[in-house]
Amino acid sequence: MKIAQIVSTFWPRVGGMGRVCFDEAAGLARRNHQVTVFTPQYGEQTADEDELPKQFGFEVIRLQSFLRSDNAAYLPGLVERLRGFDLAHLHYPFYLSAQSVWRARKKFSLKYVLTYHMDAQVNGLKKVAQKMYDWHWVKKIFEEAQKIITIDKDHLDSADLRRFVRSEQLMEIYNGVDLDVFSPKRSAQESDKKNLTDARLLFVGNLLSFKRFDLILKALLLLNQSANNPNCVLTVAGGGFGGEKYQAMAERMGLADKIKVISSDLNRNDLAKIYNQSDALIVSSDSGESFSLAAAEASACGLPVIASNIAGVRGRVEDGQTGYLFASGSADDLAEKIEKFLSLPAQQKKQMSERSRALAEQKYDIKKHVEKLEKLYLSL
């Protein structure tokens, strides 16, 4: 099949939607489909920017864009670019350009499916503009989609746009991760807790306000004030957005020496290594999460996850088996759950790690994800 994938953010820009789209395009190309990704061009394009997609067998076309903001960009000419494709796959939200897929459907009967990733997280005038776009376009775009993929039904049921999705359109396909890259690879020393004095916590992602990184800082302070706990240190694989604010907060709380920030621009092998060097992943968001790809990656590496009990996140954790859920917005409960995990005997931690990997193999294998996607495409 000749397949077009349309997404608002894409490699090398950091973002969950772009990473999912990359994996899907690569997996479909391996199954001998002709895949082209359409995405906005951000800044000056470098010569090697699209070399990696070529190595995975698919093409990226970065279109000149206007009115770029978060998950929005206007791509003039996208409708005609979609002519001749067998099917389009729209990753939503993509404000100002999602209607181009609808127009291609009307103009030359292009079939399309839509993955509903999340509600856009915007405020102020952007929120007003989003509401206007939703009122005018979203019902039309959703109605014409042959299928709407949700990555987590629990999240979709709480989403703003759930009312536009018909039950016969809906299909749940979990996001997938590469289980060969993200796999347990701990060294003997890392596995032997007797040789370690620090509890190594991990946060992965951009420091957006809804990620509630402040909760992690408060919990870290509580943990390090207790004489019963090992020294707790935190690695942040991410940054941007609120990074300076949280850095100042950490300094005021006397935690600057407990936190190590590394680049968010990591290749997957490096990110997998960081998961394997950690004791637990913390997902502290109080809203805005539709899946938590980081939690799935951590599980694939056998890393327990301590996460907020909200829709879109709680489905990644089997409470007490592969990690713990804490009350959303509560730094005290987060600290309590981290302390509970750290106090487990080594054998129980090992069992939790093994269950985490088994969960990923059952639910988050990218190969199974692509097989389901291909089966869906061919059925339309």
Q: Verify that 341 and 207 share a domain, yes or no.
A: yes
Taking the CA atoms of 207, 208, 212 and 214 in sequence, report the sign of the dihedral they define.
Answer: positive
Quick check: is 349 in a domain? yes
Quick check: is 125 in a domain? yes
Q: Verify that 373 and 349 share a domain, yes or no.
A: no
Tally of structural domains, the chain: 2
Q: Verify that 232 and 374 share a domain, yes or no.
A: no
Tens digits of per-residue pLDDT, 196-210?
A: 457 899 999 888 888
Instruction: Give the separation between CA 10 and CA 102, rounded to whole angstroms.
Output: 21
Q: Verify that 146 and 205 share a domain, yes or no.
A: no
Taking the CA atoms of 281, 285, 286 and 290 in sequence, report the sign of the dihedral they define.
Answer: negative
What's the pLDDT score for residue 189?
46
Q: Verify that 211 and 146 share a domain, yes or no.
A: no
By residue range, what is the domain housing residue 49? 2-176+365-379
Relative to beta strand 147-150, strand 198-206 is unpaired
Q: Verify that 208 and 149 share a domain, yes or no.
A: no
Per DSSP, the three-state class of 172 is strand
Taking the CA atoms of 23, 285, 256 and 299 in sequence, report the sign of the dihedral they define.
Answer: negative
Instruction: Give the separation between CA 92 and CA 74, rounded to whole angstroms.
Output: 14
Q: Verify that 192 and 134 share a domain, yes or no.
A: no
Give the CATH number of the domain where residue 155 resides: 3.40.50.2000
Q: Verify that 293 and 199 share a domain, yes or no.
A: yes
Beta strands in the chain (DSSP E): 2-6, 34-40, 59-63, 66-69, 72-74, 87-92, 111-116, 147-150, 170-172, 198-206, 231-239, 259-262, 280-283, 305-308, 323-326
Q: Verify that 237 and 338 share a domain, yes or no.
A: yes
What's the pLDDT score for residue 188?
47
Q: Verify that 257 and 155 share a domain, yes or no.
A: no
What is the rounded end-to-end Cα distance, in angstroms, of the chain? 12
What's the pLDDT score for residue 194?
41
Q: Verify that 45 and 127 share a domain, yes or no.
A: yes
For residue 295, what is the enclosing H or E element? helix 293-300
Per DSSP, the three-state class of 320 is coil
Q: Verify that 218 and 120 share a domain, yes or no.
A: no
pTM: 0.89
Quick check: is 129 in a domain? yes
Quick check: is 181 in a domain? no
| Segments in the chain below pLDDT 50 | 188-189, 191-196
Quick check: is 183 in a domain? no
